[in-house]
């Protein structure tokens, strides 16, 4: 068992990010057995869940003339447009059925505000609106985080970068993550994480 001040953060292992889903990450389901095993090492396990309303502003379907993976400018900056995915209450938004999600003590839902996306487990994409996860971890006495899940180059990377910015020692287990890798996004994310002091393992 890991030290009591360590937590595992399992990011967005949901049906829509796994093969057959609306925004499938190649091999996304392959990480599930390893994540389940890793949970045994931690007394504190947090899961995050994309949880979008049907008319979410990040959906390409809300922007006539735009296609998924194109970008638009939002009040908070550049926003990649996505296929409709992880809509609240749908099967696509549910955790992968093989993920032992009931072993988590906290589920952080993000992206539920219509006008702003939320990649990070800690902040929405304006980098100021908090999810509340930081407070949960502080009150649990957590100082070190291990992150796994989907997708490496978006929600995992943004979560890890925010974690180190907030002062948490942070490790990403790359063997238990999978990436979208759109136009070199994986390489950029890995470089940003290394430069910020995120430990990349696996």
Catalytic residue list: 12, 110, 155
Query: Are the CB atoms for 96 and 149 separated by under 8 Å?
Result: no
CA distances from 24 to 83, 169, 172, 196 (A): 10, 30, 21, 28
Copy the structure tokens of residue 189: 């994310």
Query: What's the rounded Cα separation, in Å, for the pair 29 and 178?
Result: 9
Copy the structure tokens of residue 38: 């890793």
Angle at 103 between CA 97 and CA 108, to 5 degrees: 85
Copy the structure tokens of residue 181: 């890798």
Phi-psi region of 154 (alpha: psi -120 to 50; beta: other; left: phi over 0): alpha
- Provide the angle, in degrees to the nearest 10, between the axes of the packed helices 157-165 and 185-196: 20
Q: How far is CA 90 from the centre of its chain?
A: 18
């Amino acid at each position: 068992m890991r030290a009591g001040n360590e937590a595992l953060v399992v990011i967005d292992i949901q049906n829509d990010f796994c093969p057959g889903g609306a925004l499938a990450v190649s091999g996304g389901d392959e990480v599930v057995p390893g994540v389940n095993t890793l949970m045994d090492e931690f007394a504190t396990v947090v899961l995050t869940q994309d949880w979008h309303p049907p008319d979410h502003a990040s959906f390409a379907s809300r922007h006539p003339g735009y296609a998924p993976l194109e970008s638009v400018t939002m009040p908070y900056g550049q926003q990649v447009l996505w296929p409709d995915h992880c809509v609240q209450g749908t099967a696509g938004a549910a955790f992968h059925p093989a993920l032992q999600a009931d072993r988590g003590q906290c589920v952080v839902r993000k992206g539920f505000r219509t006008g702003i996306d939320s990649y990070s487990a800690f902040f929405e994409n304006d980098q100021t609106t908090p999810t509340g996860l930081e407070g949960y971890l502080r009150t649990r006495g957590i100082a070190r985080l291990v992150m796994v899940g989907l997708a490496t180059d978006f929600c995992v990377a943004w979560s890890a970068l925010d974690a180190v910015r907030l002062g948490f020692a942070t490790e990403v287990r790359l063997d238990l993550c999978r990436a979208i890798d759109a136009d070199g996004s994986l390489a950029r994310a890995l470089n940003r994480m290394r430069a910020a002091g995120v430990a990349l393992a696996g």
